[in-house]
DNA sequence: GCCAGGATCGTC
DNA sequence: ACGATCCTGGCA
């Protein structure tokens, strides 16, 4: 069953956690490409320095330079309605898929980082690779995944809640000061690359 | 216009 | 450890 808007209007940390085990569906050229979500990250609020929507990022300097944060044409979606896709290009090469969460006016989204392809028993790991595999690019930016015929998320009737949910700090945001250590990355043990498994072992 | 930098990835 | 590659947005 397709997830409704109410689901995405909840607290972003909860949405990020509960998206684990749900199925991301992309309809492309008549085919439905499906993957079970196995890793997410929450980006939340006006002062999360890792978030594109961080207002204080405007005044913050990164290597002596102002960064593009806060309400801008690109990030306006994050401030808007829950259940929209926020797709952006990073490093000039990769697209990243986020789902906007929480109430209109409150900037937040969940980044989809890994999916499990149950058909082929393999993992697509990394937001860039997911978008490449599912043919997601900026033409899907702003897509309403509650109603869309191209992109949506389903809850599975069977196998509802995954056994063990792990969490840790978010990836690739070392610049984010005190926000870089917040454990806002949620993931299942399945489908994690070895380097991350190793890191987790070292932490435990 | 100019230009530095990025919620990444593949290769070295 | 590094380079690819292009969009973004602050500044001039």
CA A47 to C1' C2 (Å) is 31
Contact by Cβ (8 Å): A184, A39 = no
Q: How many CB atoms lie within 10 A of CB A110?
A: 27
Q: Which two tokens stand for residue A12?
A: 């972003």
CA A54, A7, A38, A203 dihedral sign is positive
Residue nearest to nucleotide B3 (CA to C1'): A65
User: How many CB atoms within 10 Å of residue A123?
Assistant: 19
CA distances (Å), origin A134, targets A10, A178, A197 = 26, 34, 25
For chain A, what percent of residues have pLDDT higher than 70?
85
**Segment A52-108, tens digit of pLDDT:** 999 875 544 444 444 568 899 999 999 999 999 999 999 999 999 999 999 999 999
Q: What is the pLDDT of residues A142-186, one digit of tens each?
A: 999 999 999 999 998 766 677 799 999 999 999 999 999 999 999
Give the pLDDT of residue A81: 97
The predicted structure's pLDDT at residue A189: 86
CA atom of A92 to C1′ atom of B3, Å:
15
CA→C1' distance for A89 and C4 (Å): 14
| A4-CA/B9-C1' distance, Å | 33
Strand C nucleotides within 7 Å of a protein CB: 4-11
pLDDT tens-place string over residues A31-60 = 999 999 999 999 999 999 999 999 875 544
Q: What are phi and psi of A47, to 5 degrees?
A: -120, 10
pLDDT computed for residue A57 by the predictor: 59
pTM for the predicted model, two decimal places = 0.90
Helix, strand, coil shares, percent, chain A, to 5: 25, 30, 45
The reply to whether the CB atom of residue A55 sits less than 7 A from any atom in nucleic acid chain B is no
How many angstroms is C1' of C7 away from CA of A93? 10
**Strand C: residues with CB below 7 A:** A 58, 66, 68, 70, 72-75, 88-89, 91-93, 138
Signed CA dihedral, A136, A187, A24, A195: sign only = positive
Chain B positions with an atom below 7 A of a protein C-beta are: 4-10
């Amino acid at each position: 069953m397709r997830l409704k808007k109410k689901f995405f209007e909840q607290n972003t940390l909860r949405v990020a956690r509960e998206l684990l085990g749900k199925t991301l569906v992309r309809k492309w050229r008549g085919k439905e490409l499906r993957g079970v979500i196995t890793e997410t990250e929450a980006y939340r609020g006006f002062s999360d320095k890792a978030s594109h929507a961080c207002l204080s990022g405007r005044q913050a300097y990164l290597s002596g330079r102002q960064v593009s944060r806060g309400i801008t044409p690109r990030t306006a979606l994050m401030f808007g309605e829950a259940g929209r896709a926020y797709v952006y290009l990073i490093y000039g090469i990769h697209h990243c898929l986020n789902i906007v969460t929480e109430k209109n006016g409150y900037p937040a989204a969940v980044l989809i980082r890994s999916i499990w392809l149950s058909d082929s028993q393999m993992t697509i790991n990394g937001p860039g690779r997911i978008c490449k595999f599912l043919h997601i690019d900026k033409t899907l930016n702003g897509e309403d995944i509650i109603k869309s015929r191209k992109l949506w998320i389903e809850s599975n009737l069977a196998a509802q809640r995954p056994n063990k949910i792990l969490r840790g700090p978010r990836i690739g945001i070392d610049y984010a000061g005190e926000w870089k250590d917040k454990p806002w990355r949620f993931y299942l043990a399945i489908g994690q690359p070895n380097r991350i498994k190793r890191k987790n072992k070292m932490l435990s």
